[in-house]
Amino acid sequence: MIPLVLSGCMVANHAIRSDFGSFNTTVQYTQSQQILLNIVRMHFRESPMFLQAGNITASYESQVGAEAGVDPFPSWNAGAHYSFSSKPTISYTPVEGKSYVAQFMTAISPETFCVLFQGGWSVSELVKLLVDRVTLPSGEVLVNHGSSPSLRQFEQWAEGLRRKQESQDLLVGSANGVLSLTSSGEVFPLKDWRFHSLFEVLFEASRNTETPPDQLDRVKKNVKRTPNGVMKIRVSAMAPRDAMVSVKYAGYHYSVSHSDLRSKDTLALLNQLYRIQSPPAGAAPVLTIPAR
């Protein structure tokens, strides 16, 4: 019996170590799925819905038993058995009310932009995704809209910042208490930039979603929805085999390809921004689902 118990302890230790990695992978993948699903919903002009992953708990149960019996012949037999089970659960909280406003409807702050910039993200990608418009030191206003006459200038200006960043000539600084990007004497105060909210960022990303031919009547007509190139969300009737992440919605599969590096980078940035914008958990209703 003692060897059986020791073997059971080894099984339990291995299960706990294995579950830690599995839980981490599951939460990471489902969050990417949630971002993708809501981008697709916005593409079809439907309301997004977000669930915030909360506590992950797991209970483990092991049982050791023994049995004995007498055969028809004058002999004795005995045996023992061991069983082990894991019962994990993950709690989700709907993001609603003031938490929803703070996370999705409030403009992204200059501080958040600086955190992402110093975290190594390309400044041109950050500007194209997060910034609505900038007022240059000259007083010229560049607008990051598909229909704006200054869009081309905005994109050229963003690429100029990228080149400065690559040559390590672009830094975050503070001039008179105002956060700024500085480069060789040039100062770009972030107070002169108008930032998107996370909702606007996701809505802009939805422009890159393909539409099934038989669902064209579900998207708004007569509106210029030209893809902005920051990512590509593919649609297919069958589940894709090369997807980094995919979701099924209204009978079709939407996915980001493993080989599409720019789309993967954009999705990773959206995930990171989602986490940064997340407010502290409140007393909202909690949905607890057994993990499978």
Residue bearing tokens 């910034």: 131
Residue 4, pLDDT score: 47
Distance between CA atoms of residues 94 and 99, nearest Å: 10
Residue 31, pLDDT score: 92
Distance between CA atoms of residues 100 and 96, nearest Å: 5
Q: What is the pLDDT of residues 179-233, one digit of tens each?
A: 999 998 788 999 999 999 999 999 989 989 999 999 999 887 755 456 777 899 9
Q: What is the pLDDT of residues 231-268, one digit of tens each?
A: 999 999 999 999 999 999 999 999 999 999 999 999 99
Distance between CA atoms of residues 155 and 216, nearest Å: 30
Residues in the chain, overall count = 292
- Please report, for residues 121, 133, 179, the alpha-carbon distance to residue 136 in angstroms, rounded to integers and kept in the order given: 22, 10, 15
What would the mean pLDDT of 14-38 be, rounded to a whole number? Answer: 80
Contacts of 100 (CB under 8 A, 6+ apart): 50
- pLDDT-derived band of residue 284, with 50, 70 and 90 as boundaries? very low
Q: Which of 90, 30, 112 has its CA nearest to residue 278?
A: 112
Lowest mean pLDDT, pick from 48-57, 136-145, 149-158, 236-245: 48-57
Q: Is the pTM of this model over 0.85?
A: no
> What does the block give as tokens for 264?
């993967």
Average pLDDT of the residues of the chain: 83
Residue 278, pLDDT score: 84
Distance between CA atoms of residues 96 and 286, nearest Å: 12
User: Does residue 81 have a pLDDT over 70?
Assistant: no
The pair phi, psi for residue 151, each rounded to 5°, is -60, -45
Under 8 Å between Cβ of 39 and 233? yes
Distance between CA atoms of residues 3 and 82, nearest Å: 11
